Amino acid sequence: MTDVNTKITQLRNTEWNGKRIVVFLHGDYDFLCKVFGLSGPQGTYPCLWCLTTKKQLQESTEKEPRTFAFLKSAFEKFKIESGEDKRKAAQYHNCIHEPLIDIELHKVSPPYLHILLGVVLKHHRMLEQAADRIDKQIYEDKNPDRADNSRLLSNLGNNWQKWMQKQKEIAFLEGCVAFGEAESSSQTWMEQLENAQEELETISHTPLTSRSGPVCSQLDAVLDKHAITPQSYHSRSFTGNHCNKYLHPEVFKDITASIVRTTCEWTSNPFIVDDANEIKLNFDLLNEAYALVHNDISHTYPIAPVSLSSIKTNIDSYMATYRRMFKKKVIPKQHILESHCLPFIQEHKIGFGLVGE
């Protein structure tokens, strides 16, 4: 990388219209970790900008910052003292090879696109887990007065959809038989109807599995309504455009409303319905809090110093809301958002839309 670093130095020493050129680096987080010699986000010290540990991610306290000189020094110790034994990487703050590009870390942009992707996906996966919990409660409800749909789910488990589809087929065939009595095809319709009724009788119970119940499976239908399609070949993740859509209030509130609506269609148990309403309230609050942060920092415009306090307030409010709802579940991307996005904005006074991927 000698040629690259030589060119970076030349750029730093270049003036254009009386202004000195500043060199920034941006990229996704795995790329940045490789460039600066870290083990990556799964290491004991997962953060590029400070010495927080994975356990300390759950806290909001400030940790000692890393510097470019620190990265080089830690790697030299790792090389000399451990013989580059990666099993001992944590003893050297996960600095396992020499930094490739000579850029100070305060000129490295936090990867906001990947923060956005990670945060929205985290929210939605936890929402799916909550919807799964509702499905399981309906499935396991033993109340003798429970609704017919609840009995159906308890009796058939994963096969509830197969049963409902077969019922629709039977209703269609019954209509064909009724309206086709004088037609020569009536006998054919009758045979198909009898076959469908026999197939209905053979549908039996299989245990309910994750994301297969009526409440959770409805979430995908609502996402599809808003042209948000999880990428099955990427662990059902979202794209940046998906995340932007998701954070519109009319979208995320429609998604959470489907949990309450579908729950009420499948059970009259007041405790389960209350749980569904609480899920909607919590996730609406969580997405509203993050949407404020997203709108504050994701654009390409200059950010005036007077705006910094409100940005900090919104970031702190979001993280406090998240920690209150989901203890011990802060991910590295949320730590970067909480601890390192605002300092970058304070120094460079620009939204991440200009310096991101």
Query: What is the number of alpha carbons within 13 Å of residue 220 lying toward its C-beta?
Result: 13
Place 182 in a pLDDT band, splitting at 50, 70 and 90. low
Q: Are residues 73 and 102 in the same domain?
A: yes
Place 22 in a pLDDT band, splitting at 50, 70 and 90. confident
Q: Are residues 47 and 95 in the same domain?
A: yes
Whether residue 78 contacts residue 95, with contact meaning beta carbons closer than 8 Å, is answered with: yes
Out of 107, 128, 157, a domain closes at: 107
154 domain residue, yes or no: no
CA-CA-CA-CA torsion sign (259, 260, 262, 267): positive
- Nearest one of 322, 348, 274, 339 to 62, comparing CA atoms: 339
Segment (H or E) for 222: helix 214-225
Which tens digit of pLDDT belongs to each residue from 68-93?
999 999 999 999 999 999 999 999 99
Q: What is the pTM of this model?
A: 0.87
Query: Which of 50-59, 154-163, 308-317 has the highest average model confidence (pLDDT)?
Result: 308-317
Which tens digit of pLDDT belongs to each residue from 299-310?
999 999 999 999
Q: Are residues 140 and 17 in the same domain?
A: no
Question: Is the pLDDT score of 142 beyond 90?
Answer: no
Whether residue 77 contacts residue 92, with contact meaning beta carbons closer than 8 Å, is answered with: yes
Give residue 233's pLDDT.
Answer: 65
164 domain residue, yes or no: no
Q: Are residues 270 and 131 in the same domain?
A: yes
What type of residue sits at position 180? G
Q: Are residues 120 and 242 in the same domain?
A: yes
Out of 80, 107, 134, a domain closes at: 107
Mean pLDDT of 113-133: 96
| Range of lowest pLDDT (105-114, 141-150, 267-276) | 141-150
Q: What angle do CA 262, 233, 38 make, to 5 degrees?
A: 115
Question: What's the total number of domains in the chain?
Answer: 2
Give residue 167's pLDDT.
Answer: 80
Give residue 200's pLDDT.
Answer: 80
Whether residue 104 contacts residue 68, with contact meaning beta carbons closer than 8 Å, is answered with: yes
- Whole-number Å distance between alpha carbons of 262 and 214: 7
Whether residue 28 contacts residue 91, with contact meaning beta carbons closer than 8 Å, is answered with: no
Mean pLDDT of 175-203: 75
Give residue 75's pLDDT.
Answer: 96
Q: Are residues 216 and 277 in the same domain?
A: yes
Question: Is the pLDDT score of 131 beyond 90?
Answer: yes
- What DSSP assignment string belongs to 103-136? --GGGBPP-HHHHHHHHHHHHHHHHHHHHHHHHH
Q: What is the dihedral of CA 69, 73, 75, 81, to 10 degrees?
A: 180
125 domain residue, yes or no: yes
Give residue 205's pLDDT.
Answer: 81
Give residue 253's pLDDT.
Answer: 98
Question: Is the pLDDT score of 125 beyond 80?
Answer: yes
177 domain residue, yes or no: no
Q: Are residues 308 and 243 in the same domain?
A: yes
Give residue 183's pLDDT.
Answer: 57
Q: Are residues 62 and 122 in the same domain?
A: no
7 domain residue, yes or no: yes
Q: Are residues 101 and 81 in the same domain?
A: yes
Mean pLDDT of 144-165: 76
161 domain residue, yes or no: no
Segment (H or E) for 20: strand 19-20
Q: What range does the domain containing 30 cover? A: 2-107
Whether residue 138 contacts residue 266, with contact meaning beta carbons closer than 8 Å, is answered with: yes
153 domain residue, yes or no: no
- Whole-number Å distance between alpha carbons of 299 and 281: 28
Q: Are residues 125 and 47 in the same domain?
A: no
Q: Are residues 246 and 296 in the same domain?
A: yes
Mean pLDDT of 19-37: 92
Q: Are residues 121 and 87 in the same domain?
A: no
